[in-house]
């Protein structure tokens, strides 16, 4: 009798166990993307100076004077943000590995949405500083706004793709099981230095550089899983 009861319990529990262990079924993974070319609206430039002298104190003095003067000039440009960058001094070795002098390097960083104002300031600063590099990008607030629009577009595309899959496979309905949203895109290359750096002497007139900011490709991808019902 006891053996019969145990066998009966085993038979009754088997279907429930098999159902509980059955994994997800009729699931489909796919990806959609929403992308757009967006005009770059932020300029970031680095202005540099390098000083060499036998005395480190004179190197520091000349560096500080040049950089302080550059920041004062930048302060007159309301729509250009200027900030201090890297600054360091290191020894220059000559014969017999002896210190032959000192070399100092200093930078200031410029950031602006007003490309003309930035170009005019760069022109002025090139009397004493060299243009290190220029980058064009999409400003953070512009990027956030565009990303929100792309997310909405990507979600719509995901729903349309999910419905097409459901119809093609003859399912009654579907439900979204998992979604992940990723944003990214292709950033433009740094602006070529040769287009903006002047090789003229200080006595010659330095024209203000004209910039073509170009575009950045912004994209949002949605990776998701649907379960057909």
- Going by pLDDT thresholds of 50, 70 and 90, the confidence category of residue 94 is confident
pLDDT digits (tens, 9 = 90+) for 54-84: 999 999 999 999 999 999 999 999 999 999 9
pLDDT > 90? residue 9: no
**Would you state the pLDDT for residue 19?**
37
The set of residues, in sequence order, having a beta carbon less than 8 Å from that of 42 and lying 6+ positions away, is 111, 112, 113, 136, 137, 138, 139, 142
Residues 227, 175 contacting (CB under 8 angstroms) = yes
pLDDT of residue 75: 96
Q: Give the pLDDT confidence score for residue 186 in this predicted structure.
A: 60
Q: How confident is the model at residue 190 (pLDDT cuts 50, 70, 90)?
A: low
pLDDT at 50 over 50: yes
Q: What is the pLDDT of residue 15?
A: 41
Reported pTM: 0.73
Residue 203 banded pLDDT, cuts 50, 70, 90: very low
What's the pLDDT band for 194 if we cut at 50, 70, 90? very low
Average pLDDT, the chain: 83
């Amino acid at each position: 009798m006891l053996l019969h009861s145990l066998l009966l319990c085993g038979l009754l529990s088997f279907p429930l166990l098999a159902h509980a262990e059955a994994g997800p079924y009729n699931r489909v993974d796919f990806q959609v993307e929403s992308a757009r070319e967006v005009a770059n609206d932020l300029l970031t430039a680095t202005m540099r100076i390098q000083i060499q002298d036998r005395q480190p104190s004179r190197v520091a003095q000349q560096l500080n004077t040049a950089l302080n003067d550059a920041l004062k000039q930048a302060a007159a440009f309301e729509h250009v943000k200027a900030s201090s960058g890297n600054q360091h001094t290191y020894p220059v070795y000559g014969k017999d590995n002896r210190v032959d002098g000192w070399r100092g390097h200093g930078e200031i960083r410029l950031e602006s949405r007003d490309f003309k104002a930035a170009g005019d300031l760069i022109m002025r600063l090139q009397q004493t500083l060299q243009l290190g590099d220029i980058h064009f990008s999409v400003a953070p607030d512009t990027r956030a706004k565009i990303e929100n629009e792309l997310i909405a577009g990507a979600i719509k595309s995901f729903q349309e793709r999910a419905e097409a899959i459901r119809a093609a496979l003859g399912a009654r309905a579907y439900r979204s099981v998992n979604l992940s949203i990723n944003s990214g895109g292709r950033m433009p290359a740094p602006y070529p230095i040769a287009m903006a750096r002047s090789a003229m002497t200080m006595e010659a007139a330095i024209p203000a550089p004209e910039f073509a900011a170009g575009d950045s490709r912004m994209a949002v991808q949605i990776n998701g899983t649907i379960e057909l019902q």
